Amino acid sequence: MKKLLLITGLLSTVLFADFKTVDADEFAKLMAKGYPTIDIRTPMEWKQTGIIKGAHKMMFFTPNGQPDLAQWFFDLGHLVKDKKEPILIYCAHANRSKSLGQGLEQMGFEHVYELKGGIENGWIKFGKKTVKE
């Protein structure tokens, strides 16, 4: 019985998890709904291109390329109170955000959306604006 409950629990997490790659227009529509939007790039990248207005700057990888999991999930806990809440993520070219999004999906976050092509090839390239701070 315990095995059945465990399997059912694991399957429900996988079945209801939803990681999607969306284009800039869809990403903007989701942002307009007020879903937390997270820019996982580095401070140098934020300075170079700016960020999407309303996004939270939460660097996932340290400058030496290692994830800072403890700090990142601590910060995420302030933005997202429930794994059922949609989350929007992006990086420069969608490589880091794809890895993170798939990881969040495996952890049971049910609605994770990443920006196709990242901020450079999926947002700026299509004429979408950024803000510099």
User: In the structure, how many helices (H) and strands (E) does the chain have?
Assistant: 6, 5
Place of tokens 């227009």: 25
The reply to whether 133 falls in a domain is no
- The whole-number pLDDT of residue 59 equals 93
The reply to whether 8 falls in a domain is yes
- Average pLDDT (11-38) is 84
What is the Rg, in whole angstroms, of the alpha carbon atoms belonging to the chain?
15
The reply to whether 107 falls in a domain is yes
Range of the domain at 19: 2-126
pLDDT digits (tens, 9 = 90+) for 113-131: 999 999 999 999 999 999 9
Q: What is the CATH number of the domain that holds 8?
A: 3.40.250.10
| pTM, two decimal places | 0.84
pLDDT at 36 over 70: yes
Residue 27 parent element (H or E)? helix 24-32
pLDDT digits (tens, 9 = 90+) for 20-32: 999 999 999 999 9
Angle value at C-alpha 24, between 31 and 65, nearest 5 degrees:
85
Tell how strand 87-90 and strand 37-39 pair up. parallel
The reply to whether 23 falls in a domain is yes
